[in-house]
Structure 1
Amino acid sequence: MKSNLVKIFFILLFASFSTNISAQSKHVLWYNQPAEFFEESLVLGNGKMGATVFGGANADKIYLNDATLWSGEPVNANMSPEAYKNIPAIREALKNENYKLAEELNKKIQGKNSESFAPLGTLEINNSEKGKAVNYHRELDISNAISKVSYEMAGVKYTREYFVSAPDQIMIIKLTSDHKGTLNFDINLKSLLKSNVEVRNNILVMTGSAPIHENAGYTVLPKYLDIQERGTKFTTLIQIKKTDGKITNSRESLSLKDATEAIIYVSVATSFNGFDKNPASEGLDDIAIAVQNMNKAFAKPFDKLKESHTTDYQKFYNRVDLNLGKTTAPDLPTDERLLRYADGKEDKNLEILYFNYGRYLLISSSRTLGVPANLQGIWNPHLNPPWSSNYTMNINLEENYWLAENTNLSEMHLPLLSFIKNLSVTGKVTAKTFYGVNKGWAAAHNSDIWAMTNPVGQFGKEDPMWACWPIAGAWLSTHIWEHYVFTQDKNYLKTEGYPLMKGAAEFLLGWMITDKNGNLITSPSTSPENQYIAPDGFVGATMYGGTADLAMIRECFGKTIKASKVLNIDADFRLKLETALSKLYPYQIGKKGNLQEWYFDWEDKDPKHRHQSQLFGLFPGDHITPEKTPDLAEASRKTLEIKGDETTGWSKGWRINLWARLWDGNRAYKMFRELLRYVDPDGKKTATPRRGGGTYPNLFDAHPPFQIDGNFGGAAAVAEMLVQSDENEIRLLPALPDVWETGSVKGICARGGFEIAMEWDNKILKKVTVSSKIGGKTNLISGDKKQNVTLKKGESLEINW
Structure 2
Amino acid sequence: MNSNFIKKIIVGCGVFFFFQNATAQSNHVLWYNKPAEYFEESLVLGNGKMGATVFGGVNSDKIYLNDITLWSGEPVNANMNPEAYKNVPAIRAALKNEDYKLADELNKKLEGSYSQSFSPLGTMHISHFKEGTKATNYYRELDINDAVSKVNYEIDNVKYTREYFVSAPDQIMVIKITSDKKNKLNFLIDFESLLKFKTDASSNQLKINGYAPYHAEPSYVESANPILFDENRGTRFTSLVQIKNTGGSVITSDNKIGVKNATEALIFVSIATSFNGFDKNPRTEGLDDKAIAAENMAKAISKSYTSLKKAHILDYQKLFKRVSLDLGKTTAPNLPTDERLLRYSNGEEDKNLETLYFQYGRYLLISSSRTLGAPANLQGVWNPYMRPPWSSNYTTNINVQENYWLAENTNLSELHQPLLSFIKNISETGKITAKTFYGVNGWAVAHNSDIWAMSNPVGNFGGGDPNWACWNMGGAWLSTHIWEHYLFSQDLNYLKNEGYDLMRGAAQFCLEWLVEDKNGNLVTSPSTSPENMYITPSGYVGATLYGGSADLAMIRQCFSNAIEGSKVLNTDAEFRMKLEKALSKLYPYQIGKAGNLQEWYFDWKDQEPKHRHQSHLFGLFPGNHISPLTTPELANAARTTLEIKGDETTGWSKGWRINLWARLLDGNRAYKMYRELLRYVDPDGKKTEKPRRGGTYPNLFDAHPPFQIDGNFGGAAAVAEMLVQSDENEIRLLPALPDAWETGSVKGLCARGGFEIEMEWSNKAVKKVTVFSKNGGKTTLISGDKKQIVVLKKGQKAAINW
With structure 1 as the length reference, what TM-score do the two structures score? 0.96
Query: Take 2:160 and 2:230, find their aligned partners in 1: how far apart are those partners?
Result: 50
Corresponding residue to 2:445 among 438, 443, 446: 443
Q: Which amino acid aligns with 2:462?
A: G
* DSSP-derived class of the 2:215 partner: coil
Query: Take 1:127 and 1:290, find their aligned partners in 2: how far apart are those partners?
Result: 26
Kindly provide the CA deviation profile for residues 711-744 of structure 1, in whole angstroms up to 9, marking residues without a partner as x.
0000000000000000000000000000100000
Corresponding residue to 1:513 among 509, 512, 515: 515
Q: What's the counterpart of residue 643 of structure 1?
A: 645
Q: What's the counterpart of residue 710 of structure 1?
A: 711
The Cα of 1:689 is off from its aligned counterpart by 2.2
The Cα of 1:21 is off from its aligned counterpart by 6.3
Q: Which amino acid aligns with 1:107?
A: K
For the 8 Å contact 2:214–2:230, the answer to whether it is kept is: no
Q: Which amino acid aligns with 1:27?
A: H
For the 8 Å contact 2:468–2:530, the answer to whether it is kept is: yes
Q: Which amino acid aligns with 1:545?
A: G
Query: Take 1:218 and 1:290, find their aligned partners in 2: how far apart are those partners?
Result: 36
Q: What's the counterpart of residue 403 of structure 2?
A: 400
For the 8 Å contact 2:61–2:126, the answer to whether it is kept is: yes
* DSSP-derived class of the 2:417 partner: helix
Q: What's the counterpart of residue 589 of structure 1?
A: 591
The Cα of 1:526 is off from its aligned counterpart by 0.3
The Cα of 1:218 is off from its aligned counterpart by 9.6
Q: What's the counterpart of residue 210 of structure 1?
A: 212
The Cα of 1:20 is off from its aligned counterpart by 10
Kindly provide the CA deviation profile for residues 536-575 of structure 1, in whole angstroms up to 9, marking residues without a partner as x.
1110100010000000000000011000000000011000
* DSSP-derived class of the 2:692 partner: coil
Kindly provide the CA deviation profile for residues 463-497 of structure 1, in whole angstroms up to 9, marking residues without a partner as x.
11000011001100000000000000000000010
Query: Take 2:68 and 2:562, find their aligned partners in 1: how far apart are those partners?
Result: 31
Corresponding residue to 1:418 among 421, 431, 438: 421
For the 8 Å contact 2:21–2:334, the answer to whether it is kept is: no
Trace 1:286-325 onto structure 2 (pairs within 5 A).
Answer: 286-325=289-328
Q: What's the counterpart of residue 143 of structure 1?
A: 145
For the 8 Å contact 2:213–2:230, the answer to whether it is kept is: no
For the 8 Å contact 1:180–1:260, the answer to whether it is kept is: yes
* DSSP-derived class of the 2:578 partner: helix
Q: Which amino acid aligns with 1:162?
A: Y
Q: What's the counterpart of residue 265 of structure 2?
A: 262
Q: Which sits farther off after the overlay, 622-631 or 244-253?
A: 244-253
Query: Take 1:91 and 1:193, find their aligned partners in 2: how far apart are those partners?
Result: 45
Q: What's the counterpart of residue 39 of structure 2?
A: 38
Query: Take 1:337 and 1:588, find their aligned partners in 2: how far apart are those partners?
Result: 45
For the 8 Å contact 1:769–1:796, the answer to whether it is kept is: yes
Q: What's the counterpart of residue 653 of structure 1?
A: 655
CA separation of 1:355 and 1:370: change in aligned 2, threshold 3 A? same
* DSSP-derived class of the 1:208 partner: strand
* DSSP-derived class of the 1:63 partner: strand
Query: Take 1:737 and 1:623, find their aligned partners in 2: how far apart are those partners?
Result: 24
The Cα of 1:200 is off from its aligned counterpart by 2.3
* DSSP-derived class of the 2:480 partner: helix
For the 8 Å contact 1:237–1:267, the answer to whether it is kept is: yes
Q: What's the counterpart of residue 277 of structure 1?
A: 280
* DSSP-derived class of the 2:781 partner: strand
Q: What's the counterpart of residue 28 of structure 2?
A: 27
Query: Take 1:669 and 1:252, find their aligned partners in 2: how far apart are those partners?
Result: 53
Q: What's the counterpart of residue 244 of structure 2?
A: 241
The Cα of 1:130 is off from its aligned counterpart by 3.4
2:775 matched to 1:774?
yes
Kindly provide the CA deviation profile for residues 367-399 of structure 1, in whole angstroms up to 9, marking residues without a partner as x.
000100000000000000000000000000000
Query: Take 1:373 and 1:308, find their aligned partners in 2: how far apart are those partners?
Result: 23
Q: Percent identity?
A: 74
* DSSP-derived class of the 1:22 partner: coil
How many aligned residue pairs are there? 779
Q: What's the counterpart of residue 10 of structure 1?
A: none
2:365 matched to 1:365?
no
Q: Give 5+ residue unaligned stretches, structure 2.
A: 1-19
2:233 matched to 1:230?
yes
The Cα of 1:171 is off from its aligned counterpart by 0.1
For the 8 Å contact 2:239–2:269, the answer to whether it is kept is: yes
Trace 1:561-640 onto structure 2 (pairs within 5 A).
Answer: 561-640=563-642
Q: What's the counterpart of residue 72 of structure 1?
A: 73
The Cα of 1:779 is off from its aligned counterpart by 0.6
For the 8 Å contact 1:218–1:458, the answer to whether it is kept is: no
Corresponding residue to 1:497 among 493, 499, 504: 499
The Cα of 1:225 is off from its aligned counterpart by 9.4
Query: Take 1:267 and 1:540, find their aligned partners in 2: how far apart are those partners?
Result: 50
* DSSP-derived class of the 1:766 partner: strand
Q: What's the counterpart of residue 541 of structure 2?
A: 539
Query: Take 1:116 and 1:771, find their aligned partners in 2: how far apart are those partners?
Result: 42
The Cα of 1:227 is off from its aligned counterpart by 7.2
For the 8 Å contact 1:53–1:61, the answer to whether it is kept is: yes
CA separation of 1:764 and 1:364: change in aligned 2, threshold 3 A? same
Q: What's the counterpart of residue 4 of structure 1?
A: none
Kindly provide the CA deviation profile for residues 583-614 of structure 1, in whole angstroms up to 9, marking residues without a partner as x.
00000000000000000000000000000001
2:557 matched to 1:555?
yes
Q: What's the counterpart of residue 16 of structure 1?
A: none
Q: What's the counterpart of residue 762 of structure 1?
A: 763
For the 8 Å contact 2:782–2:788, the answer to whether it is kept is: yes
Trace 1:151-162 onto structure 2 (pairs within 5 A).
Answer: 151-162=153-164
Corresponding residue to 1:189 among 188, 191, 194: 191
Q: What's the counterpart of residue 746 of structure 1?
A: 747
Query: Take 1:233 and 1:631, find their aligned partners in 2: how far apart are those partners?
Result: 56
2:360 matched to 1:354?
no
The Cα of 1:136 is off from its aligned counterpart by 0.2
The Cα of 1:343 is off from its aligned counterpart by 0.5
With structure 2 as the length reference, what TM-score do the two structures score? 0.96
2:437 matched to 1:434?
yes
Q: Give 5+ residue unaligned stretches, structure 1.
A: 1-18
For the 8 Å contact 2:758–2:771, the answer to whether it is kept is: yes
The Cα of 1:229 is off from its aligned counterpart by 1.1
For the 8 Å contact 2:132–2:156, the answer to whether it is kept is: no
Q: What's the counterpart of residue 180 of structure 1?
A: 182
The Cα of 1:132 is off from its aligned counterpart by 1.2
Query: Take 1:226 and 1:671, find their aligned partners in 2: how far apart are those partners?
Result: 44
Q: What's the counterpart of residue 333 of structure 1?
A: 336
For the 8 Å contact 1:131–1:154, the answer to whether it is kept is: no
CA separation of 1:633 and 1:531: change in aligned 2, threshold 3 A? same
Q: Which amino acid aligns with 1:765?
A: V
Q: Which amino acid aligns with 1:39?
A: E
Query: Take 2:731 and 2:543, find their aligned partners in 1: how far apart are those partners?
Result: 39
2:105 matched to 1:104?
yes
Q: Which amino acid aligns with 1:256?
A: V
Q: Which amino acid aligns with 2:72?
A: S
Q: What's the counterpart of residue 17 of structure 2?
A: none
Q: Which amino acid aligns with 2:607?
A: K
Q: What's the counterpart of residue 479 of structure 2?
A: 477
For the 8 Å contact 2:732–2:783, the answer to whether it is kept is: yes
* DSSP-derived class of the 2:151 partner: strand
For the 8 Å contact 1:112–1:218, the answer to whether it is kept is: no
